[in-house]
Structure 1
Amino acid sequence: MRAVVQERYGTSGVWQVAERPVPEPGPGEVLIRVAAAALDRGTWHLMAGLPFAVRPAVGLRAPRTPVPGRDLAGEITAVGPGVAGLAVGDAVFGTAPRGSLAEYAIAPADRIAHAPAGLAPEAAAALGVSGQTAWQAVHTAGRVTAGASVLVLGASGGVGTFAVQIARAAGASVTAVCRTGSVDLVRGLGATEVIDRTSTDVAGLGRRWDVVLDIGGNPPVSRLRRLLTPRGTAVLVGGERPDARITGGYGRLLRAAALSPLLRQRLVVLVASENSTDLGHLRDLVETGELTPVLDRTVGLDDAGAAIEHLGSGRARGKIVVRIGSDQSADRRSGTGAHQETIRQSHSTGP
């Protein structure tokens, strides 16, 4: 099978397409013929091997998992012992911890779910990592309820575009913050209010929100607290510090976790999990029309390196998807379904 292979850390040039044997599923696993896979920020970090603090867990000199990527959508072609509720021929989506940028991938049965009815595989692939992260930020960590006021920082990225929609589906009033070029896109996702961060400092507005979702930024914890109501919740989803090659943004996250027990406000560092239950929640929102993946672009397997470079630039709006099973994707795109034409495409020169 053809797959993207990475044998060392570095820039996008370390990704090479090569032939690899088709893996076999073990107990509790399934083999999936991959139609599409999506890229996420964690995949970029594993390509670069940054921050250095993560290397003891993922490989000191090279990644332990040579095939990158986690998100996928496709069709089950083999089922390992002990798998229930899934069968050969099922269309599924979710995550593959051993790599998804390949024609075939192994996924644990508890990290995939049946794909939303009528949704193209390119869109279904976009849901896995970022969709679950957004769901858990809104519901598990943020505890968002109907009528709550929610501020989404970084609303135009892969996680942010999902978070805006999921919070709105929960009945919240959503204020979204993004750059100028993404204002119309984010407003179209259902945000109650959109703030252009290039012209307006949200902290200078003197307003407070019940929940603040800090997605991929690196604002000081003190700044987040000033945006919260006295008993509000800030959810820290990652954090980028390009200048901190050793620890990345983990120092800020650790400080927030240590400070939270001393405050009336809640500072929650989100460590997202991958599970079929939350995938089911996402599927339900898609099928009721309350959640639509936003795709920045879709590329072929040979262009995956250029795509991850674009993601690393910070200019992607929504998700970047790699189409792998071209024949299968074409067949499904020619079909009909309630959501077949609702994928939001987001091509632009900037966020």
Structure 2
Amino acid sequence: MNRFLKVFSLIAFITFFASCKNDDDVKVAPPRDYGVQYASDKDSIEKFLKNHYIDLNTETLDATFPAIADYAGGGAAPASIWDQTTYPLQNLKVTRNEVEYTLYYVSFREGVGQSPSMADNINFTYRGLLFDGTQFDYRENSVAESPLYQLVPGWLDVLPRFKSGVYVEGNEGDPAKFTDFGAGAMFLPSGLAYFNSVPSGSNLVSAYACMAFSFQLLDVTYTDIDGDGILNKDEVATPGGSPEFYDTDGDEIPNYLDTDDDNDGRLTKDELRVQGTVNEYYKYEDMFTDGVLKDEFKCAGGSLPKFLDPNCKGGL
């Protein structure tokens, strides 16, 4: 799309690297036990939620979270993030590093467009805050797409619950403009943020820091990283699942990075080709009715699409 700069930028404070890091890239503290650290983080997060309130710009849907004790406005102090009902506090259970986390978030607006999977590209703006009120990062304008999977783990779990907005046609300038985008905030324990790592150049973020992010999901681009003809979001057993957790042939390569998802020696792309054609392929969404896989696209007694089922050799 012409409205996007065709570059990928490293987001200064919320990007993490899945590859190995050298000493020049990141400061690393000795690791603590994830479970023990989370017990402390959970207590800190819930105290924060009960003692701070949402200060929301209703036009941009950008939020900060001042302490109720510091409120200087007229009348009664606002309700805490925990107690307020305008944007009900939500939570989801996330298991990482053998720890089940409770990840708290709020939705200011769901959005009207597309939801990303963790393996797709997003255009977004955000504000990053530590629990003492320190702003450690801020992205005000939409300047480039970024792969969601490069962000800290909590983002991979929260952003797919929101949708993109609508591009304002005729606006070819920088930054691009969007309306009706999804927006919210998340409150991350260190195990879903940086844990014991600190990005180089940061003199504000310490190891094991809990943090809050206010974000606006402007646009989503679906991608096919392994080039097998299936979008990353569809490399799952059922629509809507996270491609992060699907490795149907057990070869320790997730489907969205695997060109042969069922390990039968035949490329997934070839298995999707309609027999007797050169470049006509079955579409993933056409294999389901109301989220239920049609019988003709699975092996007898199986539950996976044929091209994902290690017990089902051959194409569709």
TM-score (norm 1): 0.23
Considering fraction of residues, name the structure with more helix. 1
Could you say which structure has the larger radius of gyration? 2
| Greater relative contact order, per chain length (Cα 8 Å cut-off, separation 6+) | 1
TM-score (norm 2): 0.24
